[in-house]
Amino acid sequence: MLSFFSKYKFFGIALLVLSGIIVYLFYNALQPKKTLPIYQPSMVNVELVDSTLYHVKKYHTIANFSLTNQNGRTITQEDYKNKIYVADFFFTTCPTICPIMTKNMADLQKHIINDNDVLLLSHSVTPQIDSVAQLKKYALEKGVNDAKWNLVTGDKKQIYELARKSYLAVKTDGDGGPYDMIHTENFILVDKKRRIRGFYDGTKEEEIKKLLEDLEILRASY
């Protein structure tokens, strides 16, 4: 009897392991896949939505843009076509939240450095101060990788309209005029179809962790 069990014990162990794998695979197959919401203006805090967009419940996407990066190169939606990206709004002379946001964006850059599907995009909210030379200086100081992360400047009205009407990132007061000023801690996750998939406080480590988790979910959906 003992010799019988000894003879077949490896077969039994192998069968047990195989059964465990099958159960695990069935369990995973039955679990609902995690998905991210597709944010529409009607789903966002009304203070962050331009009055012309209150009614929009579907099909909201980031508008076309043409801005200039830290290398003097024109950046448009074509540079982000079929890419996932994280966007924010900052200015190089900001002494409060921007240094923390830039540090956290640099940490994101480390996580995506070898991922060809993910990019970063930071818009200056003081384009009259943040010239190409100023952005380049800032980029070198902060370790910006030009292949992964564009810091952009350009027409102030265009940038402010993007913030308010596309990214739904800041309160709608103002018109992008010379005395208008926006200041937001939001990081915005955008998918390959230019749709908003998440908002995160770019000054908080736990929110950056959540962003990285959501990024994995979004990646897995393609």
- In terms of domains, do 88 and 148 share one? yes
Task: Calculate mean pLDDT across residues 67-75.
Answer: 98
- In terms of domains, do 152 and 175 share one? yes
The enclosing domain of 61 has a CATH number of 3.40.30.10
Q: Tally Cβ neighbours within 10 Å of residue 145.
A: 13
pLDDT greater than 70 at residue 6: no
- In terms of domains, do 143 and 84 share one? yes
In a domain? residue 102: yes
pLDDT exceeding 70 applies to what percent of the chain? 82
The rounded mean pLDDT for the chain is: 88
- In terms of domains, do 67 and 177 share one? yes
Task: Calculate mean pLDDT across residues 73-99.
Answer: 97
In a domain? residue 36: no
Region for residue 82 given its phi and psi (left: phi exceeds 0; alpha: psi -120 to 50; beta: otherwise): left
In a domain? residue 180: yes
Comparing CA positions, the residue from 126, 136, 79, 118 lying closest to residue 216 is 118
Full residue range of the structural domain in which residue 83 is found: 41-220
* Better pLDDT: 51 or 10: 51
- In terms of domains, do 167 and 131 share one? yes
94 marked ligand binding residue: yes
Region for residue 68 given its phi and psi (left: phi exceeds 0; alpha: psi -120 to 50; beta: otherwise): beta
- In terms of domains, do 2 and 88 share one? no
Beta-sheet pairing, 74-76 with 66-68: antiparallel
Q: Is there a contact between 165 and 63 (Cβ–Cβ < 8 Å)?
A: yes
In a domain? residue 11: yes
pTM over 0.75: yes
- In terms of domains, do 95 and 16 share one? no
- In terms of domains, do 127 and 21 share one? no
- In terms of domains, do 90 and 166 share one? yes
How many domains does the chain fold into?
Answer: 2
- In terms of domains, do 10 and 81 share one? no
- In terms of domains, do 77 and 10 share one? no
183 marked ligand binding residue: yes
Task: Calculate mean pLDDT across residues 115-139.
Answer: 97
What's the Cα-to-Cα distance from 97 to each of 27, 67, 77, 183, rounded to whole Å?
44, 23, 27, 9
* Better pLDDT: 76 or 53: 76
In a domain? residue 129: yes
- In terms of domains, do 49 and 152 share one? yes
Distance CA 47, CA 156 (A): 21
In a domain? residue 189: yes
Comparing CA positions, the residue from 86, 95, 82 lying closest to residue 123 is 86
